[in-house]
Amino acid sequence: NAGVTQTPKFRILKIGQSMTLQCTQDMNHNYMYWYRQDPGMGLKLIYYSVGAGITDKGEVPNGYNVSRSTTEDFPLRLELAAPSQTSVYFCASSYPTSGGIQETQYFGPGTRLLVL
Amino acid sequence: GEDVEQSLFLSVREGDSSVINCTYTDSSSTYLYWYKQEPGAGLQLLTYIFSNMDMKQDQRLTVLLNKKDKHLSLRIADTQTGDSAIYFCAETRGYSTLTFGKGTMLLVSP
């Protein structure tokens, strides 16, 4: 298993440009997540999905969009990039226990985004 | 302030024990986690503890949970230079999401 993969690893955007961060997992996990990590900070949840066709906002969703058409893929879209979106973006996935509570999140290696 | 709080920095000598502390606020949290992040890498799950447990031991790692005080700690025995990293405490919120602390940078000197 490759686990959680993210592309690209690094990207520089100009203000106002758009891009899609790709995330794929091959563990058949129902739950997938997007986080951003700013320097010296913990992770902030942007969006998450509990299954194909279902997405929900996290703590910091403004300026982002997501879709979940398949179990494996959970792309994150930036429509009008702003300097405040300069960050490291992590995708994660998990599988709920029989009680419905997600137990462990597996993280991808991250995408480093610089908006100038 | 942050819902999950950690001290930002800890420095120890190789061979000593390290103790990283965390306080959280959501008394309904079901799982509490410790993640490790090495430079330029993603987060790696180290260990987790279910909220009805007081202690969990996994090789060199010992997790202690005090639910009354909402305090979680991670003890690393015989700390090695390879343990140098940022350690994040996280708690579950609802069924699906985690809330992370800002992370504790552990520096192990020879």
Dihedral Cα A44, A50, A55, A59, nearest 10 deg: -20
DSSP-based helix, strand, coil % in chain A, nearest 5: 5, 55, 45
How many angstroms separate the CA of residue B57 from the nearest CA in chain A? 17
Share of chain A above pLDDT 70, in %: 92
Evaluate if residue A64 carries a pLDDT over 70.
yes
Evaluate if residue B2 carries a pLDDT over 60.
no
CB neighbours of residue A102 within 10 Å: 26
Q: Which residue of B has its CA nearest to A38?
A: B102
Q: Average pLDDT in the B74-82 region?
A: 96
Q: Which of residues 66-85 of B touch A (CB under 8 A)?
A: none
| pLDDT bracket for residue B65 (50, 70, 90) | very high
Strands B43-50 and B55-58: unpaired
pLDDT tens, residue by residue, A32-52: 999 999 987 888 999 999 899
pLDDT of residue B1: 42
Q: Which residue of B has its CA nearest to A43?
A: B100
Nearest to A42 among B33, B44, B102 (CB): B102
**A41: its two tokens:** 């900070």
pLDDT of residue A97: 62
